[in-house]
């Protein structure tokens, strides 16, 4: 079973999402963020489940519609490690640098 870790940058991504949700008076903000983090746990057992978005990157689809997010990650098969690099809303145009 792979170990899942989050890059420091994911904290900034989550903060940005929380600010957006609060600004738009979304309900259950804390639960939504918890759902994003919980969804990444599927990568422990299925690290290759995400669609390829580059030679060594994959993207996990989390939720749908207004509650839809994408998690960009890298799977290191040798170390049996999944590193979640970034999280964004599905409607966002790209990953923040």
Question: What tens digit of pLDDT does each residue of 7-40 get?
Answer: 999 999 999 989 988 888 878 888 888 989 999 9
d(CA 17, CA 20): 5
The structure tokens listed for 77 are 């098969």
Q: How far apart are the first and last CA of the chain?
A: 30
Question: What tens digit of pLDDT does each residue of 35-64 get?
Answer: 899 999 999 999 999 999 988 999 999 987
Across the chain, where does the E strand assignment appear?
3-6, 51-52, 58-62, 69-76, 81-89
Structural domains of the chain sorted by starting position, each given as residue range(s) with its CATH number in brackets: 3-89 (3.30.2310.20)
Res 39: pLDDT:
93
Query: Rounded to the nearest 10 degrees, how much is the dihedral formed by the CA atoms of 66, 69, 88, 71?
Result: 180
Model pTM score:
0.88
């Amino acid at each position: 079973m792979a170990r899942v870790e989050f890059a420091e940058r994911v904290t900034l991504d989550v903060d940005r999402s929380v600010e957006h949700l609060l600004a738009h008076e979304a309900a259950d903000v804390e639960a939504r963020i918890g759902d994003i983090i919980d969804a990444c746990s599927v990568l422990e057992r299925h690290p290759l489940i995400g669609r390829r978005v580059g030679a060594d990157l994959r993207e996990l689809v989390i939720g749908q519609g207004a509650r839809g997010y994408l998690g960009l990650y890298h799977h290191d098969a040798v170390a049996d490690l999944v590193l979640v690099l970034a999280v964004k809303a599905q409607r966002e145009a790209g990953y923040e640098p």
